[in-house]
Structure 1
C-alpha cells in the first residue's frame, strides 16, 4: 500500500508541475511575460500557489524549468554532441545545416519560443541570462568539436556568419508571426516561401565551407 501511495504522490506531483508549466506557456502566449505573476499562474493552473514554492523553489525555479522545456538549443546537450562525433568528418557541415533547418521550423511552429525571444530582448532576468549562457556553452562546444581545425584563424569569420544566420532566422519567424508574411518578396508563411529559405540556408552553408575553409586568413587590415 505504501508503494502505491508513494507512486500516486509522484504522479500527482508531476501532473501539478505540468499544469504550472502549461499555465506559464498559456499566459506567455496570450498576455506576455509581464502577466507572469504567482497568483495568476496558480489560477490558470488550478493548483495552490504554495506548490510553486514546494515543487520549484519559487517563481525563478518555475520560470527556469519552463524556459529549459521550450528552448531549442537547451536540449542540445554535450552528451548528445558526443554521440555525434563519428559523423563529424565533414567538419560539421551536415550537422550545422540540420541544426539551422530544424531551428528554423521549431521557432516558426512554437509561439512560446517566439515569446521567449521577445522576452529576452525586452527584460534582463537571471533565468533568461542563464539560458543565453547555456546556448553559448553549447555553441562553443560545437565550434571546438567540429570547426576550429578546419577553418583555423578564420573560425571567427565562421562564427560571425553563423551569428547572422541564426539571428536572421529568428527575425524572419517572428516577423512573419507578428507583422506580416512578406519579407524581401518571400512569403515566409507559405510552404513554397519557407522552402526557398531552407534552400538559401543550405546554399550559404555550402558557400561558407567551400570558400572560407580555403581562403587566406582574414584580418582586420584586409
Structure 2
C-alpha cells in the first residue's frame, strides 16, 4: 500500500489563507473562544499547523486578522480614519446610522457576538489591542461630537457607551436565552423595529439636550 506523502488538502496560497480564517469563524460559532487553538484551527482548516505561522506570523496575528475581517466597526470607522471628517451639522444623523447599523450587524453576526464577549469576559492582550484599535478609530468622531456638547453638562461619550452596552446586552440576551428584556423581545420583528427606532429617538433627544 502506498503511503500518502501529504495528508492535507492541496490549495493555493489564497485558498489556504481563506480556509484558516474560515476555520476560526466556524470554531468560534460552535465552541466560543475556548475552542480556539492553533491545533484545532489547523485541523478544522485541513492544513499543516505550520501554515498558520507561515501566513499570519503567529496565532495572535491570526486572531487580529480574523477580527478585522469580521468586526463591523472597522469598515464603518475606517471611513473617518484619515481625517476626512463630516460637517458638524451632519454628525448627529451619521452617529444614528452607525448605531442602528451596529444593532443590525451585531444581531446577525454570531462570530462578532462571540469575540466581543471574549473581550469583556477575560483578560487577553490581543483582544485588548483590538478594542483599543476600535477606540482609536472612533476618536476623531468623538472629538467632533465633543464640540457639539461643549459647555454642556451631558457627556455624549457616556450616553453613547450606555446605548452601545444596551445593544450588546439585548442582542446577547435574545440570541442566547431567546427571551425579552424589560418586556421587549427583539427576536420578534415588530419589537426589534421598535428597539431600532428607539435608538434613533434616544440619540436625537440626547443630541439636542447636549447642544
Q: TM-score, normalised by structure 2?
A: 0.88
CA contact (8 A) 1:23 1:44 kept: yes
* Superposed structure 1 runs of 4+ greater than 6 Å apart: none
Shift of 1:117: 1.4
Cα separation, partners in 2 of 1:135 and 1:24, compared to 1, 3 Å = same
Cα separation, partners in 2 of 1:78 and 1:188, compared to 1, 3 Å = closer
Q: Kindly report the root-mean-square deviation, in angstroms, between the aligned alpha carbons of the 2 structures.
A: 1.9
Task: Identify unmatched segments of 5+ residues in structure 1.
Answer: 1-10, 214-222
Q: Partner residue of 2:29?
A: 29
Q: Partner residue of 1:6?
A: none
Partners of 2:153 and 2:70 in 1: how far apart? 29
Shift of 1:50: 0.6
Report Cα offsets for 1:185-212 as digits up to 9, x if no partner: 1121111111101111111111112222
Whichever structure has more helix as a proportion of its residues is 1
Cα separation, partners in 2 of 1:155 and 1:162, compared to 1, 3 Å = farther
Partners of 2:80 and 2:210 in 1: how far apart? 27
Q: Partner residue of 2:118?
A: 119
Question: Any idea what SS the aligned residue of 2:40 has?
Answer: helix
Cα separation, partners in 2 of 1:106 and 1:78, compared to 1, 3 Å = closer
Partners of 1:104 and 1:201 in 2: how far apart? 9
Q: Tell me if 1:40 matches 2:40.
A: yes
Partners of 2:67 and 2:154 in 1: how far apart? 29
Cα separation, partners in 2 of 1:107 and 1:79, compared to 1, 3 Å = closer
Shift of 1:58: 1.6
Shift of 1:15: 1.1
Q: Partner residue of 1:20?
A: 20
Cα separation, partners in 2 of 1:76 and 1:156, compared to 1, 3 Å = farther
Q: Tell me if 1:72 matches 2:77.
A: no
Cα separation, partners in 2 of 1:111 and 1:79, compared to 1, 3 Å = closer
CA contact (8 A) 1:73 1:135 kept: yes
Shift of 1:156: 6.4
Q: Partner residue of 1:130?
A: 129
Question: Any idea what SS the aligned residue of 1:182 has?
Answer: coil
CA contact (8 A) 1:74 1:131 kept: no
Cα separation, partners in 2 of 1:61 and 1:197, compared to 1, 3 Å = same
Q: TM-score, normalised by structure 1?
A: 0.84
Partners of 1:66 and 1:156 in 2: how far apart? 37
Figure out how many residues of one structure are paired with residues of the other and give that number: 201
Shift of 1:39: 1.4
Report Cα offsets for 1:71-128 as digits up to 9, x if no partner: 121223455455863x534251000000000000100000001101111122222221
